[in-house]
Amino acid sequence: MSLYIEASFEGLNKYDEELCGDKVEVIRNENFVIVVLADGLGSGVKANILATLTSKIIGTMLVGGANIEQAVETIASTLPECKERGIAYSTFTILQLFHTGEVYLVEFDNPSTLMLKKGRFAEIKKQVRSVYGKTIRESRFNAQPGDMFIIMSDGAVHAGIGGTLNLGWQWDNIKEYVGRIYKRDMTAKNMVKLLLSVCDNLYMQKPGDDTSVAAVKVRKPLTVNVMVGPPVNRNEDHAVVGKFLSQEGKKVVCGGTTSQIVSRVLGRELITNFNYFNPSIPPTADIEGIDLTTEGVLTLGKTLEYIKKYSSSENSINDILKLNQKDGVSRLSRMLLEQGTKIHFFMGRAMNPAHQNPDLPLDLSIKLKLVNEMAALLKGMGKAVDIEYY
């Protein structure tokens, strides 16, 4: 079984610095995902350049088939070492996860990577060796669905040092906190948000060091199938609904007319819910065999807003918590953002006259634009997205 690798990262700039001295690079291809976290020497522009070059060089070379010796040799000969202190230009952590479950981990002077199995801390066995004069820790092992990895720069373990905590938020403290807050359905993004929030609070919103956290979760693939709008040709209703229902994964129907078509083809009652969990969001409905049935344009528009906020680096814990609410927009957003690894849109092109602008061509109608924009954002998060038009 090909596994899905979910990756998320965020960082805090050192107080009064415009640029972060850490850099996280996530590279995906059909075989694996590589996450590189580099921590440049010092802070500000110089550190940012060093970290960016380190992460780019390592990521690009490993994707191109180079080994760690070649990558380290290249950055060691390319980037300067601090003459005054005799220390490295940049520390780094490399986590390469194959869709088969194989894992390759390399650490150079960054805090140790945390691994959770079934919510419990699991030790990673490492080999220490010298590569081009650098002492690295290297591991190879296999991961299972549900495993989570947490990578951090030393800004995390220094959080609060000399202020709220004498010795900082040490690695063992972070390990204990992670084990306490972890839940089985927790996403990589949620873990990153919670950890950085604690770091920011310990620094009293004035970070004394650049602080970056990346989380990676191994998941079983799950497809979310979303039917939006009726087919242009009414004679295709049965065929399209039949194909939609035959797909593996969750089923979502968006739109009043579309819901009626699915209800008719299935021969099952369409029951409207009158529980208004949020007055600004249309209520959902129920069709036996369908996971979620919603209104069309308004729900899709609000869902797109949620996706934009979720994908923004400026989102908050509250933006993520919205996904746990019971209204149709929150439920659809959660399926697309946190549950689905592949999103398959069945896009009907029959127009609803109430939503059609006569000045716009068919392919720029409201629903099509909403779905296309959603698809682009979801692809940017590493999800596979298909749109079939009918």
pLDDT of residue 355: 47
What H or E segment, with its residue span, contains residue 328? helix 328-334
How far, in Å, are 27, 107, 180, 195, 317 from residue 310 at the CA level? 20, 30, 24, 17, 10
Q: How far apart are CA 18 and CA 10, in angstroms?
A: 15
Where is the domain boundary, 219, 245, 273? 219
Where is the domain boundary, 219, 238, 253? 219
236/315 same-domain check: yes
pLDDT in tens, the chain (390 residues): 699 999 999 999 999 999 999 999 999 999 999 999 999 988 999 999 999 999 999 999 999 999 999 998 898 788 866 655 556 689 999 999 999 999 999 999 999 999 999 889 999 999 999 998 889 999 999 999 999 999 999 999 999 887 777 777 999 999 999 999 999 999 999 999 999 999 999 999 999 999 999 999 999 999 999 999 999 999 999 999 999 999 999 999 999 999 999 999 999 999 999 877 788 899 999 999 999 999 999 999 999 999 999 988 777 777 777 788 999 999 999 999 999 999 999 999 886 554 445 554 443 478 999 999 999 999 999 999 999 999
267/122 same-domain check: no
Answer yes or no: are the C-beta atoms of 337 and 6 closer than 8 Å. Answer: no
**Digit-coded pLDDT (tens) for 8-49:** 999 999 999 999 999 999 999 999 999 999 999 889 999 999
Partners of 294 in the β-ladder? 254
CATH number of 237's domain = 3.40.50
pLDDT of residue 174: 96
Q: How far apart are the first and last CA of the chain?
A: 31
215/234 same-domain check: no
Q: How far apart are CA 390 and CA 387, in angstroms?
A: 10
153/266 same-domain check: no
Total domains in the fold of the chain: 2
Helices vs strands, H then E, count in the chain: 11, 18
211/267 same-domain check: no
Tokens of residue 35, six digits? 């996450």
pLDDT of residue 352: 59
pLDDT of residue 350: 84
The domain of 117 spans: 4-219
278/147 same-domain check: no
pLDDT of residue 300: 96
CATH number of 52's domain = 3.60.40.10
